[in-house]
Amino acid sequence: MFRQYYAGRWFAPRDNPLRVGPVAQGTLYRLPEYLTHGRDVTWMVMAFCNGVVAAACRDPATGRWVDRVIAGRSDRAIIRRLADGVCCEIAVARLLQVDEAQGGGASPGLPDVGRFHKAYRPCPQVLAA
């Protein structure tokens, strides 16, 4: 299942009511192409995968351990090579390492919550601060 990145509470707990993650969809990365001896190739982040937790719970009927899909865990991204459209999967941690190595990319901008999400009501603690 493809979806936009949804950061957990541990990523950005303060001024991030919609929990926007550290990598935005559509971000371009220059990653080395290993088959052509390290020449950089441009890739674009297409989507993020839901995480699969291996052996998450035990099935009471069979007594075997089964895997579960966790919807809020995005540790893998699907990227597309712009040269020929080849898609592959990569760890989000690797994309963050590339950001740091190439001078650090800015975090994606937060949407205007009051304008686009009128049903959102901030917590009383946020209003008092």
Residue 36 backbone dihedrals phi, psi, to 5 degrees: -110, 35
> In one letter, which amino acid is 36?
T
Q: Which helix (H) or strand (E) holds 93?
A: helix 92-101
pTM of the model: 0.57
In eight-state DSSP terms, residue 12 is -
> What per-residue confidence (pLDDT) applies to 34?
72
**Residue 8 confidence (pLDDT) above 70:** no
CA-to-CA separations, 54 to 43, 50, 51, 65, 69, in angstroms, rounded: 29, 13, 9, 8, 9
Share of the chain above pLDDT 70, in %: 51
DSSP 47-89: EEEPEEEEEEEE-TTT--EEEEEETT---EEEEEETTT--EEE
Question: Which domain range does residue 99 map to?
Answer: 2-128
pLDDT digit string (tens) for 26-77? 888 888 877 666 788 899 888 777 766 667 778 889 888 887 776 666 778 8
Q: How many domains does the chain have?
A: 1
Q: Cα-Cα-Cα-Cα dihedral of 36, 39, 41, 47, to 10°?
A: 80
